[in-house]
Amino acid sequence: MGNYLTDAQIAKAREELSLLYSLPFAVDLAGTAWEQILAAAKGGTWSQKRDNRPRPDVTAPDGRGGSLQISVKTERLRTDRHKKHAADFLGGVEDLIVARPKVDELLLAGETLASLTPDQLGAKVLEYYNTEIVRRYGWDAISILFRIEDREFIYWEESPVPLYSAADYWWRESGRATGSNRNINGYPNSVARNTDPLPRATFKWTSGGKQFYVLYTIPLNADTWVISPTQLSADDVRDALRDKLQAKKRIQGEPPTT
C-alpha cells in the first residue's frame, strides 16, 4: 500500500515505466519523461518546461478541490555489495540538485564572488532558494524518485516544501573548486566547526555548475516498487509504429506511406 502515492497511482507509474524501459532506445529515465508519467498517474498536467527550471513541473489535484504545484526530482542511486535493492536505501541519506541559483542573481551591486565569506555566500544561496524559487513559484511539494538499476524505485514527497534559515547553518569551502569558482558546503549549527571528520554536508552550492544540493533522508515509509520490462528489439518497435502510423493516416485521410 502506498504512503505517498495511492495504490492506483503506483500501478499506473509501474505500467508506464515498464513500457518505457521495454523500448530499446530507453537507456535511462529522462526527467521530462518521469514528469509526464507522474502527471498522468496523479491525474494532473505537465508544465512542458525543460528540466531544472524553477517553475513547478506538475500541477495535480490535492484531493480537497484545489491543486498542488509540484517540483519533480529524479536521480539514479549507486549500488554496491551492501546496497543492491530499494529496501537497502530506506533511512539513508542522499543529496539532490534542487535548484540552480546563478552567481549574478545572488550578488548585490559592488559585490564579487571572491569578496564574500563562505557564510555570507551560503546565506545568500539559502535566501535566494527560499524567496526567489520556492515562494516566488509557489512550490507546494517536492516529489523525489530514486532509481536502482532502473528496475526498482523509491518515491516520496516533501510537503510543505522546507525553507531554511541562514542563521541555523554555517558554511566552508569544499576544497574542490577550480579557477575563480566557489564550491561551498553548509552544515547545521549542531555540527561544530572544528569537527573532524565532518559529516556529509547538508547543503552544497557550486558557482560553476550553478547547482544547489540538499541532503535528504529517505523516509522509512517511502513508496517502493519493482518493474519487469519486456525487452523489445528495434525492429519490434519499428513494426508496431509503422502499423500505428498507417492506421492514423487512414483515420486522418492522408495517403499511406510507401
Q: 126, 108, 134: which is closest to 212 by C-alpha?
A: 126
Strands 203-206 and 211-217: antiparallel
| One domain for residues 155 and 237 | no
Structural Rg of the chain based on CA atoms: 22
Same structural domain, 127 and 145: yes
Within-domain flag for 171: yes
pTM of the model: 0.89
Of all residues in the chain, what percent carry a pLDDT higher than 70? 96
Catalogue the E-assigned strands of 110-231. 141-148, 152-158, 169-173, 183-188, 203-206, 211-217, 223-226
Least confident of 101-110, 119-128, 152-161: 101-110
Same domain assignment for residues 61 and 146: yes
Instruction: Give the model's confidence band at 228: pLDDT under 50 very low, under 70 low, under 90 confident, else very high.
Output: confident
Q: Give the SS3 label for residue 134.
A: helix
Residue 1 belongs to some domain of the structure: no
- Average pLDDT estimate for 115-141: 96
The more confidently predicted of residues 241 and 42 is 42
Range of the domain at 242: 233-258
Number of domains observed in the structure of the chain: 2
